């Protein structure tokens, strides 16, 4: 939208901010900064909008620029420190605080320093900074309670929180602190009373919580209260109320669920949880963990696993020790489930509508449930041959099951993968991938990234480059929409597509183009560099280095310099990125400095430099 004068533009921006339309305001402010990138008003207002959108990275960038442009305005230093605190960049926050000397800001600085020390578990220093805060600071009582709580002095912490409710008023956050205090003191009825008050006020003051909406941290106290209610119910062995609280909890998408909610879901839904946990272990090849779980919970296994589930899991975990025996048992299970499917299909077809419509519906449900069991065993059987890279045998298994599974998306997906891996069957593979992609084309990021990548490769090898480019443009457009709403979000679909295409060209010997795709895929490094993406990057670089050493290929000096520049960037941004794919059940914690992307990048740089010197 074009504006005829600055006054109209300013009025529009402030109206958007007043109405809470921060994303729209951000776009207009960015336009203004393109004209005058040092505009103090635009930078300040943009930072404010970013804070409201919880985009503290963007806010920090604005305040950092304001600190440079206006060093005499110390409140910008304080705001920058607050952004660093939200980003958990504690060292940078402390450094920014030390440069704030204006006396009127000292109370805010002391309070922030207390919070920084609190979050780094330096409680004595946190107390010292809190003592320096003004006696009439409304947050001092609550902060004192938080420190006492972290010291596990729950009774004193509770007294601080109760006094704060009288002086400040019973905010939802404060009521939650009181409820947790009573919970820690095992005074469950009192804790539940405050939880119910939180839930009642939340539904009144925030009716949008009853609907599926975007979640901001302001509303998170309602979720915390429900999780506390579940914890209390479980302590009292009241599993019915715990399950009901889980149902009553405001709805969220699966990606928005916090660890505590997931933990409570697992406890409340133990019947499904044990089986799902064991199946996840099987999926990732963590057979020892699955065996240990079953051995440590002998009372739960017969209660929550059917005989079929137990037999299946037991068969899978023996794969590593006795693959032949495991395969034989899987083939038997496939045959058994296939026989059941055939019988159910005949019985369903024999039912005469409409008088037996209910019976037919019931039998159809039984058929679908059996089909899921059949697919589970079939895929595990195919996986054994897949791991052996015997793709022709995998294809034979799928051909035998086409009558039962031909319309099932999971079956189509894996047939597509099997054909793709056989090199000469890219047209056939595309025929299986395309319907899956078309089904989700308007929400293309819901499709698997590897499916999109493989389909692009199929198009390229079928000389349908325009189709591949169209698909990539669609993915890029959808990722841009996500980044517009959340600039800090990490998106990997387009990255993976470029990695797969780059790997394809490298495998064909065209390293110049292939490596350029790899480099493009990893930008910006801060968002794209991780153990999973690095795994594929280093494979291509190692392949290139091997062929250079063997004099199989020759690359221009400019290409080699680009490679080194790229690896240097990976070394810089990969200091805290593990190079190991790791265990999905473990926290991604780096304990070995050599097991980082940065270390492996420097190793590759050393190899590249040796090649250049030759």
- Six-digit token pair at 207? 């009716």
Asked if residue 192 belongs to a domain, the reply is no
CA neighbours closer than 13 Å in the CB half-sphere of residue 39: 17
Domain boundary (336, 353, 386) is at: 386
User: Given a cut of 90, is residue 30 above it in pLDDT?
Assistant: no
552, part of any domain = yes
pLDDT in tens, 444-483: 999 999 999 999 999 999 999 999 999 999 999 999 988 8
Each residue of 355-384: pLDDT tens digit? 567 777 778 888 888 999 999 999 999 999
Query: Rounded to whole angstroms, how far apart are CA atoms 192 and 230?
Result: 10
pLDDT at 211 over 50: no
Q: Which two tokens stand for residue 267?
A: 């406890």
Q: What is the pLDDT of residue 585?
A: 57
> CA-CA distance, 416 to 455, in Å (whole number)?
9
Q: At 592, is the secondary structure helix, strand, or coil? A: coil
Cβ-contact 410, 397 below 8 angstroms: no
List C-alpha distances in Å: 86 to 73, 92, 587: 21, 11, 22
What pLDDT score does 353 carry? 63
pLDDT at position 19, please?
Answer: 86
The pLDDT of 580-595, averaged and rounded, is: 61
High-pLDDT (> 90) share of the chain, %: 51
d(CA 267, CA 287): 23
Question: Would you say residue 475 lies in a domain?
Answer: no
Q: Is residue 292 part of a domain?
A: no
pLDDT at 352: 66
- The domain in which residue 598 lies consists of 527-614
- Prior bond of 540 cis (ω within 30°): no
Looking up residue 55, the CATH number of its domain turns out to be 1.25.40.10
The label of the residue with tokens 């062995």 reads: 237
Q: Is residue 186 part of a domain?
A: no
Query: Is 363 domain-assigned?
Result: yes
d(CA 373, CA 566): 47
Which residues of 382-480 form beta strands (DSSP E)?
Answer: none
Residue 61 placed within a domain: yes
381-423 tens-digit pLDDT: 999 999 899 999 999 999 999 999 999 999 999 999 999 999 8
Residue 213: band (very low, low, confident or very high) from pLDDT cuts 50, 70, 90: very low
Length of the chain: 614
- Residue 476 backbone phi and psi in degrees, to 5: -60, -40
Q: What percent of the chain has pLDDT over 70?
A: 93
pLDDT on residue 180? 94
> Is the Cβ–Cβ distance between 227 and 261 less than 8 Å?
yes
The pLDDT of residue 2 is 45
Residue 614 has pLDDT above 80, yes or no: no
Taking Cα atoms as reference points, which of 77, 78, 76 lies closest to residue 40? 76
Q: Which of 68, 101, 134 is where one domain is finished?
A: 101
Confidence at residue 604, expressed as pLDDT on a 0 to 100 scale: 95
The whole-angstrom separation of Cα 9 and Cα 267 is 54
Burial class of 421 by CB neighbour count within 10 A (0 to 12, 13 to 18, 19+): middle
Quick one: pLDDT band at residue 265, thresholds 50, 70, 90?
A: confident
- 268 inside domain: no
Instruction: Find residue 596's DSSP bridge partners.
Output: 578
Tally of domains in the chain:
3
H helices of 151-286, in order, are 154-168, 172-184, 188-205, 220-235, 239-248, 259-268, 270-283
Final residue of a domain: which of 50, 77, 101?
101
Q: Given a cut of 90, is residue 607 above it in pLDDT? A: yes
């Amino acid at each position: 939208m074009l504006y005829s004068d600055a006054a109209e533009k300013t009025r529009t921006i402030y109206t958007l901010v007043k109405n809470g339309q921060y994303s729209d305001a951000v776009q207009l402010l960015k336009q203004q900064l393109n004209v005058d990138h040092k505009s103090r008003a635009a930078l300040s207002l943009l930072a404010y909008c970013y804070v409201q959108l919880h985009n503290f990275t963007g806010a920090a960038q604005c305040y950092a620029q304001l600190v440079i442009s206006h060093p005499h305005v110390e409140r910008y230093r304080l705001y920058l420190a607050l952004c660093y605190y939200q980003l958990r960049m504690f060292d940078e926050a402390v450094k920014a605080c030390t440069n704030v000397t204006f006396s009127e800001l000292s109370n805010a600085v002391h309070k922030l320093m207390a919070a920084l020390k609190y979050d780094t578990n330096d409680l004595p220093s946190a107390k010292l900074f809190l003592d320096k805060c003004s006696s009439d600071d409304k947050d001092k009582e609550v902060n004192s309670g938080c420190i006492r709580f972290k010291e596990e002095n729950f009774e004193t912490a509770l007294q601080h929180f109760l006094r704060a409710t009288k002086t400040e008023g019973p905010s939802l956050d404060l009521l939650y602190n009181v409820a947790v205090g009573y919970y820690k003191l095992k005074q469950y009825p009192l804790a539940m009373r405050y939880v119910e008050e939180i839930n009642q006020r939340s539904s009144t003051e925030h009716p949008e919580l009853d609907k599926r909406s975007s979640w901001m941290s302001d509303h998170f106290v309602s979720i915390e209260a429900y999780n506390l209610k579940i914890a209390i119910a479980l302590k009292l062995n009241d599993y019915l109320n715990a399950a009901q609280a889980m149902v009553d909890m405001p709805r969220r998408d699966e990606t928005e669920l916090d660890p505590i909610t997931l933990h409570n879901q697992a406890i409340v839904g133990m019947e499904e949880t044990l089986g799902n946990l064991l199946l996840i272990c099987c999926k990732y090849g963590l057979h020892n963990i699955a065996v240990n779980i079953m051995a440590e919970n002998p009372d739960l296994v017969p209660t929550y696993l059917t005989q079929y589930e137990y037999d299946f899991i037991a068969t899978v975990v023996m794969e590593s020790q006795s693959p032949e025996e495991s395969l034989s048992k899987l083939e038997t299970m496939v045959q058994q489930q296939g026989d059941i499917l055939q019988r159910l299909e005949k019985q369903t077809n024999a039912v005469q509508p409409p008088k037996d419509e209910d019976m037919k519906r019931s039998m159809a449900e039984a058929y679908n449930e059996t089909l899921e069991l059949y697919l589970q065993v079939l895929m595990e059987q195919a996986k054994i041959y897949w791991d052996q890279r015997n793709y022709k045998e995998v294809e034979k298994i799928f051909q035998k099951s086409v009558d039962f599974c031909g319309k099932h998306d999971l079956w189509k997906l894996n047939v597509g993968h099997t054909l793709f891996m056989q090199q000469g069957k890219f047209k056939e593979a595309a025929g299986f991938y395309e319907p899956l992609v078309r089904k989700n084309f308007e929400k293309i990021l819901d499709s698997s990234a590897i499916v999109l990548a493989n389909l692009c490769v199929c198009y390229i090898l079928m000389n349908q480059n325009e189709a591949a480019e169209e698909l990539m443009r669609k993915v890029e457009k959808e990722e841009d929409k996500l980044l517009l709403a959340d600039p800090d979000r990490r998106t990997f679909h387009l990255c993976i597509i470029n990695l797969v295409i780059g790997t394809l060209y490298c495998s064909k010997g065209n390293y110049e183009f292939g490596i350029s795709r790899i480099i493009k895929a990893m930008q910006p490094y801060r968002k794209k560099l991780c153990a999973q993406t690095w795994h594929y990057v280093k494979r291509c670089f190692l392949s290139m280095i091997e062929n250079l050493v063997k004099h199989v290929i020759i690359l221009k000096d400019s290409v080699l310099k680009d490679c080194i520049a790229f690896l240097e960037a990976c070394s810089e941004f990969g200091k805290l990125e593990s190079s190991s794919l790791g265990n999905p059940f473990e926290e991604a914690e780096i304990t070995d400095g050599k097991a980082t992307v940065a270390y492996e990048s420097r190793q590759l740089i050393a190899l590249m430099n040796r090649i250049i010197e030759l």
